Amino acid sequence: MSESTVGYLEGTGGVRVAYRCWENQAPRGNVVCVHGLGEHSGRYQALAGAIAPVGLNLFAIDMRGHGLTRGRRGHIDRFDDLLRDLDRLRRKADGGVVGRPFFLVGHSLGGLVAGRYAEAFAPDGLRGIGLVAPFVDVAMDVPAWKRSLGSAADRLVPELTMDNGLDVNELFRREPDRSAYRDDPLVHRRISARLWGEMQRASNRLVEEAPRLRVPVLMQLAGKDTVVSNAASRVFASRLPSAPRIIEYDEAFHALFHDPLASEIFGDLRTWLAGLLDEPTGEPSRKQSPAARGAVRASPKEPTVEEK
């Protein structure tokens, strides 16, 4: 796997949007990746290495307000801007070849963006969506007064930013991973009132419009996630028209790609991607790592669980 190349494209409203790509000499398709809140594309080098053996390029965006992309840190005007930016990167990645096979992979907030993009755009060539600890709702109960305050700020002072409240001790199990996150100059801890409001509205639409998703879905969940709600993810899964594959890693924390189980997590994702490349109209292999448990199938009405 080669080193990443940084590129730029013109996003919605003329915003200069950055992305990184890791390309193979003889690619079979692309993975288009969306990072989590406060992160950036440079933290997905390991994902690029994991998917390279099956011939997949990785194109990873820096969402507006993140990483090398311009914009107030942690702020957006409209959630749809993120979807349009992602569509422009997808078109850049396919090199003008209509219907070139590609996959979406999104972590946390990026999972919400990837899911909504697939629902709203239904892009040609999309073979599957990997949702990694996706944001459908927060794991904790937010007091009513706090929700009301956030709603008021969303309307009156949408650009007001505050600390996003993410605790590195709840994201990572290992101190080196915490330190790398804290010391990364492109990682930030901001979220605006408007971004938070748009995330809630987008998550509601994600669940409402789930029946529109007609491609295979893999959900990888962290068993010890205190950031996003696994229960909310399973509600979303129950509304999909086809049974998704759900793998829950019992001991893992929210940042799955930086967890001690990362090699197994990447392996499960790679196996799933390879299965869809080889059998585009069939179901992916169900082989799981020993570390994984959880629903391999979820019926349209109620997810079921197969213990490992």
Instruction: Determine the pLDDT at residue 299.
Output: 32
Which CATH architecture fits 5-293? Answer: 3-Layer(aba) Sandwich (3.40)
Segment-wise mean pLDDT, segments of 10 residues, the chain, 308 residues: 87 97 93 98 98 97 97 97 98 84 97 98 96 95 71 89 94 98 98 95 98 97 98 98 97 98 98 88 41 39 35
Instruction: Determine the pLDDT at residue 300.
Output: 34
Say if residues 238 and 301 touch (Cβ distance below 8 Å). Answer: yes
Instruction: Determine the pLDDT at residue 124.
Output: 92
Instruction: Determine the pLDDT at residue 2.
Output: 63
Q: Which of 27, 45, 89 is nearest to 63 (CA)?
A: 89
Instruction: Determine the pLDDT at residue 121.
Output: 97
Please state, in angstroms and rounded to a whole number, the distance separating the CA atoms of residues 274 and 98: 21
For residue range 224-246, list pLDDT tens digits in order.
999 999 999 999 999 999 999 99
Instruction: Determine the pLDDT at residue 221.
Output: 98
For residue range 261-283, list pLDDT tens digits in order.
999 999 999 999 999 998 644 34
Instruction: Determine the pLDDT at residue 140.
Output: 75
9 strand-pairing partners: 17
Say if residues 59 and 41 touch (Cβ distance below 8 Å). Answer: no
Domain ranges of the chain: 5-293
Instruction: Determine the pLDDT at residue 146.
Output: 65
DSSP 68-119: TS-SSTT--S-HHHHHHHHHHHHHHHHTT-TT--EEEEEETHHHHHHHHHHH
Instruction: Determine the pLDDT at residue 52.
Output: 96
Say if residues 134 and 112 touch (Cβ distance below 8 Å). Answer: yes
The answer to pTM > 0.85 is: yes
Instruction: Determine the pLDDT at residue 25.
Output: 87
Please state, in angstroms and rounded to a whole number, the distance separating the CA atoms of residues 198 and 177: 29
69: exposed, middle or buried (C-beta count within 10 Å: 0-12, 13-18, 19+)?
buried
